[in-house]
Structure formats: structure tokens, C-alpha cells
């Protein structure tokens, strides 16, 4: 999901009774503001105050603005605001950047995914020069905001894609949006193959267009993270059935990066941990592997066979169920298996694993295991999307039944409520909102942006952030 969707905490009905973990929670914040001395302050922001307008409950002193809602007219005049608001990232406004006049005055720019399948209520409008497959319903929209979070512009950034779930920002301030599907042309009415990564320029989408980054592979993408020094792109695969997904790295031909650089191609490799065919079998936090191998993917386009089914030679390849979140922290990439269930074919059971790969040492380490055999509780049902909060800690989006929350989580394991979708608390006669998604912070750290997945709504939350 931002850092984007299902990154650290597991999806499980059992989580309503509390989630527990073992391992070094502080490790998740390496290289971030939360690792700085004094960043991990206790307390949260106090109880949530019921919203008299019945939308979003927040602590005292905080307020929200509704920036955009599904079905409203896009300010560009291109159609309606699409459905299924998901992964999102915030970028600097970069005043003076070439583009429409309103965008040139922006203080912050948001890029927002729309996880639309063929049955979506409102598609991303298929606009000229920004549409990959006219039959694809998904894509991204961008919002340009001033310093008071007033919307200056809103437009389509890419269209004709499918199931745009998560992705990740690049060091050169573009967004990599990921298709969480591997549907072929001819299925679901599609005229082109899907399952690719696309680059989106938040300042002027016409600069990136709708070009699939085919060398980065065709599979059920979830999230990406970019090594800012080496330019390597790490990718997670959230395959829905056995054999489960792989963890990939993409070695670009132009490692110095820059807008459009990934189109020059590169080499896609999958991670092999010798004698570990399934990461779910590893249960002890701190377990390290110093002999991680990277195996070239035989057919990145999966022209005949999905990548995870392909022949990787002697030793096979390492799989994991629900590989989802991925982010860069300090000198390492962190990636997440949201859960594993032996009854579904995994080698072991857990409510979530967080792994760290250190490319300099070529070392893979299990940082945290969430599961029933530990004794540190986390409230909430089915926590999902997370973001690194600039003042320290994490913000966690809940994805379950009933009332939905955004929780704060400190590196000491303290949890506090930050927001609640008010309409999920009402009577059966009132509409029920979907989960939160795409939580992210403005570059100046003064605003938290978050989506309600359905009906798609984007909020800006301001207040006495520490």
C-alpha cells in the first residue's frame, strides 16, 4: 500500500484478540526519523473525539479535510473520481516545475492508486497519451495541493492498467505503480497483457506516459523499494496460490536513475536462500543467512509460464506466502510476508514476518515474527497498510470488519488510535466504509494523508503533530 499496502502486520481474523510479536521492533525504524534520539515519545494524542459530521474521528486538536471523493467530477474535466483508492505517496510541490499552471503553484502533490478490477464502479478515465489498455479500469490520479491543502488540480496520471494496488516512490520523485495481477490479453476483456510496473511523474504525467517497464517482470506485483545509492529496485510478489511469490531485485542498465531511466531495461533476478525453499519455515528472530543467491529469471515476461513456476535450475528458488510490503531503511531493504498458513500450503504458520536484506553484506535476517507464541499485544483487527511517520514510529491502517482505524505504533510497541472511520459505527441504515489505505505524510511533515478504500475518499489530517 506508501510505503504502501500490507507491509508489516498480518491479515488474520484472530487479530481482533490482539497481535503479538518477537524480535527487535526498533529494527523496523533503521535509517528513519524514529531511530533518532528522543524520537520515540510515549503517549499518543489522547482519545478519539466523535466527529459531528459523522466521517472521521480524530484526537482533540486535529482536523481533517476531504480532498476528493469517488464519483465527484475530476477538476481536470476528464470524468469522475475513480473507485477503490489504495496506495498513495506525497511529493514536494516543486514550484516552477513545467506543467499546467495550477500545478506550478503546488506545495504538495499526491499520486493515488485505484485498485480497479473489471467490475469497478467507476473506472480511471481513458485519456489520450496516458492510457495503456483501453479496457483496463485501473490507474492513478494526481492531486496538486497548496500549503493549506486546498486542491489546485486533479487529473488522470495513468489509465488502462489493472488492479493498481501498491508500489513505491523513487529517489528522483516519481511513483512506481504496480499491477497486482498477471492477466493475459484476451482474459477479462483485456487487449494487452497485464502484471507490470509503470512509472508515474507526479508533476507532468505526460513525461512518463503509459509505458510498461517490461524488464522488471510480469507477475502479481505488490510493492517496490529503490536502493538510493546503487539504483537497484527490489520487488515483492503477492501470489494468491501455490507456488507462492518470490522476492526479486532488478539491476537497471542505468543505475544512476532519473525519470524514464528504468525503460532502458536491466536484469531481473529472484532470491534463492540455499536449502530454504519456503521462508515461513524460519521461526527464530535474528536468524541470518550469509549466502543469499540471486538467480536470473528465465523469462521475465512470463510468455508461457508464470515466473514462480519457471525452472530456476538446481536448488530451485525460495518462495513465501503473502509477500507484500517493501521499503528502504538505512542501508538495507525490508520486506514482509503478511502471513503464512500451513493449511494453504506454506511450510509453517505465522501472522507476519519482517525480513531485512543487507546488500553490502549479502545477508538476509529475520527481524520480527508476529504470531501466537509471543506475549506483546497489539489491538486492532487485521492491520494492513503502514507508513513511517516523520516524527517517529509507524502509522498502521486497519482492514477488517466494523469500525476501521488508523493506529500509531511506537518502536517500543506502544499502540494508540489516530483516526476512526465514523460511518462504520452507525446503524445498518448508514453506509459502511471500507478499510483505510495509502497512509502517507507531506514532505514538510505537517499533514497525514490517508484514503478510505470504498467509497473512495482522500483525507488530509492536520494538527499538533510531534
pLDDT by residue (tens digit) across 172-219?
A: 999 999 999 999 999 999 999 999 999 999 999 999 999 999 999 999
Is residue 204 within 8 A of residue 98, CB to CB? The reply is yes
When mean pLDDT is compared across 68-77, 106-115, 310-319, 389-398, the lowest value belongs to: 389-398
The predicted pLDDT at position 37 comes to 59
Instruction: State the pLDDT at residue 13.
Output: 30
**Using one digit for the tens of pLDDT, what is the confidence trace for 305-320?**
999 999 999 999 999 9
Inform me whether the pLDDT recorded for 134 exceeds 80: yes
Model confidence at 6: pLDDT above 60: no
Q: How confident is the model at residue 387 (pLDDT cuts 50, 70, 90)?
A: confident
Sign of torsion, CA 299 304 305 307? Answer: positive
The average pLDDT across 19-44 equals 59
- Output the pLDDT for position 371: 61
How would you classify residue 306: left for phi > 0, otherwise alpha for psi between -120 and 50, otherwise beta? beta
Q: How far apart are the first and last CA of the chain?
A: 24
Q: Does residue 169 have a pLDDT over 50?
A: yes
The single-letter DSSP state of residue 122 is: S
How confident is the prediction for the chain on average, in pLDDT?
A: 85
Quick: pLDDT tens for 217-273.
999 999 999 999 999 999 999 998 999 999 999 999 999 999 999 999 999 999 999
Average pLDDT of span 140-156: 96
Peptide bond preceding 395: is omega within 30 degrees of 0, i.e. cis?
Answer: no
Residue 8 has pLDDT above 50, yes or no: no
What is the number of other CB atoms lying within 10 angstroms of the CB of residue 33? 14
Q: Give 31's pLDDT tier (boundaries 50, 70, 90).
A: low
Bridge partners (DSSP) listed for residue 420: 57, 405
Stated pTM of the model:
0.89
**Predicted local distance difference test score (pLDDT) of residue 426:** 46
Query: Which residues, at least 6 apart from 180, have a Cβ–Cβ distance to it below 8 Å?
Result: 115, 163, 164, 165, 166, 220, 221, 222, 238
CA-derived radius of gyration, the chain: 21
| Tally of helices (H runs) and strands (E runs) in the chain | 1, 28
Give CA–CA dist 40/411, Å, rounded: 7
Q: What is the pLDDT of residue 352?
A: 78
- pLDDT at position 4 is 29
pLDDT value for 30: 62
Give the pLDDT of residue 165: 93
pLDDT value for 41: 56
CA distance 224 to 308: 18
Give the E-state strand segments of 121-174 in sequence order: 138-145, 151-161, 164-169
In this structure, the strands spanning 363-370 and 383-388 are unpaired
Tell me what pLDDT residue 39 has.
Answer: 55
pLDDT at position 99 is: 46
Lowest mean pLDDT among 271-280, 347-356, 417-426: 417-426
Rounded CA separation 293/275 (Å): 11
Quick check: 302 pLDDT over 50? yes
pLDDT (0 to 100) of residue 295: 98
- CA distance linking residue 313 with residue 88, whole number of Å: 38
> Does 36 have pLDDT greater than 70?
no
Give me 11's grid cell. 491479515
Amino acid 33: pLDDT = 57
Residue predicted with more confidence, 23 or 206: 206
Confidence bin at 375 (pLDDT 50/70/90): very low
* Range with the poorest average pLDDT among 165-174, 211-220, 360-369, 412-421: 412-421
Cα 359 to chain centroid distance, Å, stands at 22
Q: Identify the pLDDT of residue 16.
A: 33
Amino acid at each position: 500500500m506508501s510505503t504502501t499496502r500490507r507491509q508489516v502486520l498480518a491479515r488474520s481474523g484472530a487479530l481482533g484478540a490482539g497481535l503479538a510479536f518477537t524480535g527487535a521492533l526498533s529494527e523496523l525504524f533503521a535509517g528513519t526519523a524514529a531511530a533518532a534520539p528522543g524520537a520515540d515519545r510515549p503517549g499518543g494524542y489522547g482519545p478519539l473525539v466523535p466527529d459531528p459530521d459523522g466521517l472521521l474521528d480524530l484526537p482533540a486538536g486535529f482536523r481533517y479535510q476531504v480532498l476528493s471523493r469517488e464519483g465527484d467530477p475530476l477538476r481536470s474535466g476528464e470524468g469522475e473520481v475513480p473507485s477503490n483508492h489504495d496506495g498513495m505517496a506525497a511529493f514536494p510541490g516543486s514550484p516552477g516545475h513545467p506543467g499546467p499552471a495550477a500545478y506550478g503553484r503546488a506545495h504538495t502533490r499526491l499520486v493515488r492508486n485505484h485498485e480497479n478490477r473489471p467490475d469497478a464502479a467507476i473506472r480511471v478515465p481513458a485519456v489520450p497519451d496516458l492510457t495503456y489498455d483501453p479496457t483496463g479500469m485501473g490507474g492513478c490520479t494526481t492531486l496538486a495541493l497548496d500549503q493549506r491543502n486546498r486542491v489546485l488540480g486533479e487529473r488522470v496520471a495513468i489509465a488502462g492498467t489493472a488492479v493498481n494496488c501498491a508500489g513505491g516512490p523513487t529517489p528522483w520523485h516519481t511513483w512506481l505503480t504496480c499491477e497486482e495481477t498477471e492477466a493475459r490479453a484476451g482474459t477479462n476483456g483485456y487487449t494487452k497483457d497485464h502484471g507490470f510496473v509503470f512509472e508515474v511523474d507526479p508533476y507532468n504525467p505526460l513525461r512518463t506516459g503509459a509505458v510498461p517497464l517490461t524488464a522488471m517482470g510480469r507477475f502479481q506485483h505488490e510493492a517496490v523499494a529503490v536502493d538510493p545509492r546503487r539504483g537497484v529496485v527490489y520487488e515483492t510478489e503477492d501470489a494468491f496460490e501455490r507456488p507462492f511469490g518470490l522476492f526479486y531485485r532488478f539491476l537497471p542498465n542505468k543505475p544512476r536513475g532519473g525519470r524514464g531511466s528504468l525503460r532502458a531495461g536491466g536484469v531481473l533476478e529472484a532470491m534463492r536462500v540455499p536449502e530454504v525453499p519456503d521462508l515461513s519455515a524460519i521461526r527464530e528472530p535474528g536468524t541470518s543467512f550469509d549466502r543469499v543467491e540471486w538467480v536470473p529469471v528465465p523469462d521475465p515476461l512470463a510468455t508461457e509460464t508464470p515466473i514462480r513456476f519457471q525452472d530456476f535450475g538446481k536448488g530451485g528458488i525460495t518462495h513465501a506466502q503473502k509477500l507484500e510490503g517493501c521499503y528502504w531503511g538505512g542501508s538495507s531493504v525490508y520486506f514482509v510476508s503478511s502471513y503464512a498458513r500451513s493449511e494453504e500450503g506454506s511450510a509453517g504458520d505465522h501472522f507476519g514476518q519482517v525480513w531485512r536484506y543487507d546488500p553490502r553484506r549479502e545477508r538476509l535476517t529475520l527481524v520480527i515474527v508476529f504470531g501466537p507464541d509471543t506475549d506483546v499485544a497489539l489491538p486492532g483487527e487485521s492491520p494492513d497498510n503502514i507508513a513511517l511517520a516523520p516524527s517517529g514510529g509507524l502509522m498502521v491502517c486497519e482492514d477488517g470488519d466494523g469500525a476501521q482505524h488508523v493506529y500509531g505504533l511506537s518502536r517500543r510497541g506502544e499502540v494508540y488510535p489516530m483516526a476512526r472511520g465514523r460511518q462504520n459505527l452507525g446503524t445498518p441504515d448508514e453506509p459502511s466504509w471500507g478499510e483505510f489505505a495509502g497512509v502517507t505524510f507531506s514532505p514538510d511533515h505537517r499533514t497525514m494523508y490517508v484514503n478510505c478504500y470504498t467509497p473512495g475518499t482522500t483525507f488530509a489530517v492536520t494538527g499538533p503533530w510531534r
